[in-house]
């Protein structure tokens, strides 16, 4: 497989269907300053795939799930290590405890995000329930539309008390596998680049646009 190119602001905005000024604004918010930017006059930033996806995901959190910029930054920070470990970023992490067992094939990751109650003066906080879909199958006649799902579930932070997603008001659902699928499809990338895409098919939902 050949080397993966780096992308410019204009290329990414055009391919992802995002206004160029908006993309640049999100880039400034969700990435650290480019160390080469202040060293060369007229330098145009070039993005690695992980940097581009971080900006795209941050923008999705703001535009689609309606988080504020500070909230989206916090969510990206909290999920960074887990995303790398399970193959949602190309540069994987090293924490084997966060990986599913080798024999378990995850088809789709969905993250349920709950804002954490904090004392006055504390910064933004979130709790995360992550479901990795293993299989889904019908268990009744088709006209009843009943399906059975098997999934693994983990929480961030890992030692928090269990909370039932369906019983908590204000929880937002992030289908992070689908967001990655949209990103990969828009840029024309091979799915083989991402470990997390080996077992699920991306499906672009036209109702969820940035």
154 — pLDDT class (breaks 50, 70, 90): confident
Cβ(98)–Cβ(83) under 8 Å?
no
pLDDT exceeds 90 at position 185: yes
Residue 9 CA to residue 21 CA, distance in Å, equals 9
pTM of the model: 0.82
For helices 20-30 and 49-63, angle between their N-to-C axes, nearest 10 degrees: 100
Residue 153 CA to residue 133 CA, distance in Å, equals 9
Most confidently modeled of 61-75, 110-124, 150-164? 61-75
Q: For tokens 């204009």, name the residue.
A: 10
For residue 111, the model assigns a pLDDT of 95
Total residue length of the chain: 210
Q: What is the pLDDT of residues 196-205, one digit of tens each?
A: 887 544 334 3
Max Cα-Cα span within the chain: 66
Residue 11 CA to residue 14 CA, distance in Å, equals 5
Between the alpha carbon of residue 113 and those of residues 86, 97, 129, 172, 190, the distances in Å are: 18, 21, 7, 5, 29
């Amino acid at each position: 497989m050949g080397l993966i190119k780096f992308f410019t602001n204009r290329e990414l905005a055009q391919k992802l269907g995002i206004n160029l000024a908006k993309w640049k604004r999100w880039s400034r918010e969700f990435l650290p300053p480019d160390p080469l930017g202040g060293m060369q006059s007229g330098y145009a930033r070039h993005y690695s795939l992980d940097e581009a996806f971080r900006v795209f995901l941050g923008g999705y959190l703001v535009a689609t799930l309606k988080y504020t910029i500070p909230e989206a930054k916090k969510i990206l920070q909290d999920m960074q290590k887990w995303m790398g470990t399970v193959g949602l970023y190309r540069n994987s992490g090293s924490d084997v405890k966060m990986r599913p067992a080798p024999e378990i094939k995850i088809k789709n990751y969905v993250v349920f995000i709950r804002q954490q109650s904090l004392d006055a003066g504390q910064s933004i906080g979130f709790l995360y329930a992550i479901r990795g879909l293993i299989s889904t199958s019908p268990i009744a006649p088709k006209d009843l539309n009943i399906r059975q799902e098997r999934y693994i579930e983990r929480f961030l932070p890992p030692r928090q008390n269990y909370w039932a997603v369906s019983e908590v008001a204000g929880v937002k659902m992030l289908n992070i596998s689908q967001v990655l699928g949209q990103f990969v499809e828009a840029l024309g990338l091979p799915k083989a680049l991402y470990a997390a895409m080996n077992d699920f098919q991306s499906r672009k939902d036209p109702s969820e646009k940035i």
